[in-house]
Amino acid sequence: MIETLVSFTVQGQTVAGTLCLPQGGPAPVVLMLHGFTGSRDEMLVTGVGEGVFSRSARRMAQQGLASFRIDFRGSGDSEGDFSDTTYEGQIADALAALKVLADEPRVQGDRIGVLGWSQGGLAAAAVAGRSNVPVATALWAAVADPMESLGGTMGADVVAAGLKTGDVALQIHLSWKDIALKQGYFDGMLAMDPVAEVSAYQGPLFVAHGWRDEAVLPHAAAKFLAAHKASQDVWMEDMDHSFNATTGPKTLDLLLDATADFFKRNGLA
């Protein structure tokens, strides 16, 4: 496995990413989109010293799949301020990453999959539906209703205030992190419909969700599956929103293996 940093520009700002390559020649590649307040390595998995996405990238490389995990603008090592985060901005980052991969000689740019977790799943649904470039798409605990999931996390009072804040960043206390967001993010809660986005996608879809997910309720999976009219796989498990990563890698590894198998069965072998 070889990892290398790859950056590209979106709307004048640099987006940072890590390209993970398996041994051998150019391989099919999976674009990985992180969740709300996350970054391209994602949260640390207890006991293994790896993040959810960095571990997943390594294990995919062992199975012959390249991957490209990016930091959305305003997150991780990418340029921009987190307070300027919007759904449309993250979708623009991901669409630009597809173009980078299409021109990248170290991967098979005509065989690209997309994997999104949580809010990254919202972006993945939109990227798949708007471009129909992904040969296959995987949604891990993806947000189907932003107002229910993200709005529920923040609280109705915060959302109401956010819809009036204009270009002044609203300070928000979350249980795991303090953040600031501008009105553009909250406007997106009302405008974005990930379920409608995925309905336009014509390729195979993998939907994974946990019965114990309290951040994005399990019925989100059913909404995506009902809207998508092409081939689909579903993987439901007794897990929380982070795939039980706080207790170790067991469930995450099972999920990743099922996801990699889905990709390889659907054009990324």
Domain 2-149+193-268: which CATH number of 3.40.50.300, 3.30.1330.10, 2.40.128.30, 3.40.50.1820: 3.40.50.1820
Task: State the average pLDDT over residues 112-128.
Answer: 98
Residues 6+ apart with CB under 8 A from 38: 75, 117, 118, 120
The pLDDT value recorded for residue 80 is 98
Q: What is the mean pLDDT of the chain?
A: 97
The yes-or-no verdict on residue 269 having pLDDT over 90 is no
pLDDT over 90 at 212, yes or no:
yes
Instruction: Please answer whether residues 146 and 87 qualify as being in contact, where contact means their C-beta atoms are separated by less than 8 angstroms.
Output: yes
* pLDDT tens per residue, range 44-88: 999 999 999 999 999 999 999 999 999 999 999 999 999 999 999
Task: Note the pLDDT of residue 25.
Answer: 85
Residues above pLDDT 90, as percent of the chain: 98
What is the per-residue pLDDT for 18? Answer: 98
Would you place residue 128 in the very low, low, confident or very high pLDDT band (cuts 50, 70, 90)?
Answer: very high
Could you tell me the sign of the dihedral formed by the alpha carbons of 234, 238, 243, 249, in that order? negative
What pLDDT sits at residue 258?
A: 98
What ranges make up the beta strands (E) of the chain? Answer: 2-10, 13-21, 27-33, 44-45, 50-51, 66-70, 107-117, 136-140, 170-173, 178-181, 205-210, 232-237
Asked if residue 159 lies in contact with residue 145, where contact means CB atoms within 8 angstroms, the answer is: no
What is the reported pLDDT for 150? 95
Q: What does the pLDDT read at residue 183?
A: 98
Place of tokens 């809660």: 189
3-state secondary structure of 245: helix
| pLDDT score recorded for residue 62 | 96
Summarised one tens digit per residue, pLDDT across range 30-39 is 999 999 999 9
Residue 86: the pLDDT is 98
pLDDT band at 157 (very low <50, low <70, confident <90, very high): very high
Per-residue pLDDT tens for 216-253?
Answer: 999 999 999 999 999 999 999 999 999 999 999 999 99
**Confidence band for 91, pLDDT divided at 50, 70 and 90:** very high
Rounded mean pLDDT, 199-204: 97
Given a cut of 90, whether residue 107 has pLDDT beyond it is yes
pLDDT at position 129 is: 97
